[in-house]
């Protein structure tokens, strides 16, 4: 559900279904939406009972990003408050008062957040809320978010507003397409995934990853994608 108006009962269902039963055709494979097939609560792959006691996070070590063990649960199986990941929502906007060429100022914000995450938040990621329905961002923001990916921070692409379509997987090969989730829902799911799978493998030079490093990131993203496809 999503708030639509500041009055009692002012809520609407979120997420587009594509038609009476589901959706066929571009983009992607057919999807059957009008039946509860998503995993949730006790069937979820990322509920508290499914989380490990610790995962590997990313932390700056010298001039490069390394790994650090991040405890997730205490000896009694309770979630540790220190385990909660830092997931930032980045919003796309074509018209900016300070720079009409794109999202240059936003790129600076992302790069600063990456640096701070590597110091203070070993489990971190980004939600890229782009144009509807495919979650597209500007080239400048995409470049900055790609650097985040190779610094160990997964990026989820969703569309802005009340998502009325499904994000096309082929448009975001180094990110996680967030289906028809809103940015806030995708943020919570990414936080849960980070506590289950840990951070992505970091590249020695996030601006110029090798093919081996790219393949390693894609393999890890597959674990995240499976959750986003089924929850």
Summarize the confidence of residues 72-94 as an average pLDDT: 93
Q: Select from 227, 221, 196 the least CA-distant residue to 53.
A: 196
Between the two ends of the chain, the Cα-to-Cα distance in Å is 15
- Is-contact 134 167, C-beta < 8 A? yes
Instruction: Read off the pLDDT of residues 141-156 as tens digits, 9 standing for 90 and up.
Output: 899 999 999 999 999 9
Per mean pLDDT, which of 12-26, 59-73, 89-103, 201-215 is the most reliable?
201-215
Range of the domain at 188: 2-230
Instruction: Read off the pLDDT of residues 128-144 as tens digits, 9 standing for 90 and up.
Output: 998 877 788 888 889 99
- At 18, the pLDDT band (50, 70, 90 cuts) reads low
> How many domains is the chain built from?
1
Quickly list H helices, 135-210: 139-149, 183-197
Tokens of 34: 């009008």
Q: Which residues pair with 59 in a beta bridge?
A: 66
């Amino acid at each position: 559900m999503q708030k639509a108006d500041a009055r009692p009962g002012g809520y609407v269902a979120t997420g587009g279904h594509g038609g009476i039963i589901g959706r066929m055709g571009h983009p992607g494979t057919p999807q059957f939406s009008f039946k509860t097939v998503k995993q949730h609560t006790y069937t979820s792959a990322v509920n508290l009972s499914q989380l490990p006691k610790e995962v590997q996070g990313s932390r700056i070590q010298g001039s490069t990003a390394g790994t650090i063990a991040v405890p997730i649960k205490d000896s009694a199986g309770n979630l540790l408050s220190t385990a909660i990941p830092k997931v930032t929502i980045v919003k796309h906007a074509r018209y900016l008062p300070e720079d009409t060429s794109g999202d240059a100022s936003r790129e600076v914000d992302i790069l600063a957040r990456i640096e701070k995450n590597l110091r203070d938040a070993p489990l971190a990621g980004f939600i890229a809320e782009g144009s509807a329905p495919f979650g597209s961002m500007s080239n400048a923001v995409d470049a900055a978010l790609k650097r985040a990916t190779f610094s160990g921070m997964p990026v989820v692409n969703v569309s802005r507003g009340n998502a009325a379509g499904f994000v096309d997987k082929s448009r975001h090969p180094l990110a996680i397409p967030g289906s028809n989730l809103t940015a806030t829902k995708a943020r919570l799911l990414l936080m849960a995934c980070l506590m289950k799978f840990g951070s992505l493998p970091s590249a020695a030079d996030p601006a110029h990853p090798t093919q081996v490093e790219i393949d390693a990131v894609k393999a890890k993203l597959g674990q995240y994608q499976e959750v986003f496809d089924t929850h």
